Structure 1
Amino acid sequence: MTTAFPHPLAAALQQGLGALRLPVSPDTEARLLRYLDLIAHWNRVYNLTAIREPQAMLTQHLLDCLAIVGPLSRELGEASPRRILDVGSGAGLPGAVLAICRPDWQVTCVDAVAKKATFIRQVAAELQLPNLTASHQRVEAMEGPGFDLITSRAFATLADFVNLTRQRLAPEGCWVAMKAHLTDAERLAVPAGVSVFHVEQLTVPGLDAARCLVWMRPDVG
């Protein structure tokens, strides 16, 4: 997937990818930029995000989600296929970004809002991402095999996140929540039988704000 003319945000994306030490192919770069364009286009009608300025969307959405690709790749290893569930995905953040960067992962984005699931299906079609699917329903109503990793971005408290998705987690799977920060109160409210085993601080290029990943898994035994 190539474009005839350089995208106005191509250099900024490449700089951000370099800062994240996340090497991707030119084809993947083009898909990421096209995805950003699709959000901007659909946002005019569907109000997918309150952020509308292109550079801000690149930093606060795209690079914010790209910052977790490395950590998730480390956790999931090289075994394929891996099944990822993105809960309350909205415009596909981070699910669509993960699907673009890791075509060997099977990514499902679930959202209770129909127009957002419709948008993600359009992204999958236009960007030719057979590994990206969208589900329009509440996550607690989902059925089927469990997922190796369940993620969310500003979806709910850790307690609600775990309680709503516990039945969707595969044996030996884990949860990872994208957060600005983790308070002691929220950590203490994590349900019994689930442990926070790592809080990973993230640096998002160009973003002067705290970001972290909260890793959780069921207790063994």
Structure 2
Amino acid sequence: MNPKQFVEALHQKGIKLSDKQIEQFAIYYQTLVEWNEKINLTAITDEEDVYLKHFYDSISAAFYHDFTEELHICDVGAGAGFPSIPLKICFPDLQVTIVDSLKKRVNFLNELAAKLEINGMVFHHDRAETFGKNKKFRESFDIVTARAVARMTVLSELCLPLTKKSGVFIAMKGSHSDQEVTDSSTAIKLLGGNLDTIHTFTLPNENSERSIIVIDKKRNTPNKYPRKPGVPGKKPIV
């Protein structure tokens, strides 16, 4: 998917990019490639692959959920900024908080935000388990997102404590996510969530399957969660 096809594909989904936004995606790509030579941000560096598998794929969450309001989003383990920064470019009113455990990635994100000239973004060098215990941030976000971070049993413990009551947790996954959702049903319920919908679609051009799992936050998360760093991954809630 080249940049022109990317713009056209989004237009077909009702997202019309301005010249400035198109330029921002071009800057994003160039900055990503430059930094990727210094630190490991992504294995995907070909322009057409980045536009399809990172940019378009990140924005696909907006095909199924409304991001047009001034919402507060927390992106857990965003890495090179996916999905929150492509969403922020498309929907400038979003207020975005990114949490990542690697300082070098946070440095990249800070430089990227400066080059893109976008405001309303904050980056935190922290573990999600610690961040979710912070009273300033706990249960304060309208939407919490995570893309290709961990299995749903683990993601639920990292993300639902940050999701405010009446908010949503959106997990972006690959194919065959149904079993992950089934396996995480106990964790989701315990942490205050309720499965809303699993949206399944295929990426244009290559037809690889993607899933967007939407979890509604119905109840407050018990104070004991998230557990200490590393524990959710080693001992998932079952």
TM-score (norm 1): 0.87
**Superposition RMSD in Å:** 2.1
Are residues 103 and 77 of structure 1, via their aligned partners in 2, closer, same or farther at CA, if it must alter by over 3 Å? closer
The aligned residue for residue 160 of structure 2 is 166
Name the counterpart of 1:12.
Answer: 5
Q: Do structure 1's residue 94 and structure 2's residue 94 form an aligned pair?
A: no
Aligned equivalents of 2:180 and 2:45: distance in 1?
33
What's the % identity of the aligned pairs? Answer: 25
| Aligned-pair CA distance for 1:185 | 4.9
What amino acid sits opposite 2:178 in the alignment?
Answer: T
| Contact preservation (8 Å) 1:96, 1:120 | no
Letter in 2 for 1:187: T
Structure 2 residues without counterparts, runs of 5 or longer: 221-238
Distance (Å, rounded) in 1 between the aligned partners of 2:203 and 2:23: 20
Runs (4+) of structure 1 exceeding 6 A deviation are none
Question: CA shift at 1:47, angstroms?
Answer: 1.7
1:183 counterpart residue number: 178
SS of structure 2 residue aligned to 1:178: strand
Alignment of 1:96-115 (within 5 A): 96-115=85-104
Classify the secondary structure of the residue corresponding to 1:170.
strand
Corresponding residue pairs, total:
210
Cα deviations by residue, 1:176-210 (Å, 9 ceiling, x for unpaired): 10011313354232313422110112343223200
Using the alignment, how far apart are the partners of 1:214 and 1:43 within structure 2? 29
Q: Deviations over 1:139-188 (max 9, x none)?
A: 12112131111011011111211112332111211101001131335423
What amino acid maps onto 1:183 in structure 2? D
Gap regions ≥5 residues in structure 1: 1-8
Go from structure 1 to structure 2 and tell me whether the alpha carbon gap of 1:26 and 1:203 turns closer, same or farther (over 3 Å shift): farther
Normalization by structure 2: what TM-score?
0.81
- In structure 2, relative to structure 1, the CA distance for the partners of 1:20 and 1:204 (3 Å cut) is farther
Q: CA deviation at 1:21?
A: 3.3
What's the CA shift for 1:77?
5.8
8 Å CA contact 1:110–1:138 kept in 2: the answer is yes
State how far apart, in whole Å, the 1-side matches of 2:216 and 2:114 are. Answer: 33
| 2:115 is the alignment partner of 1:122 | no
User: Matched residue of 1:45: which SS?
Assistant: coil
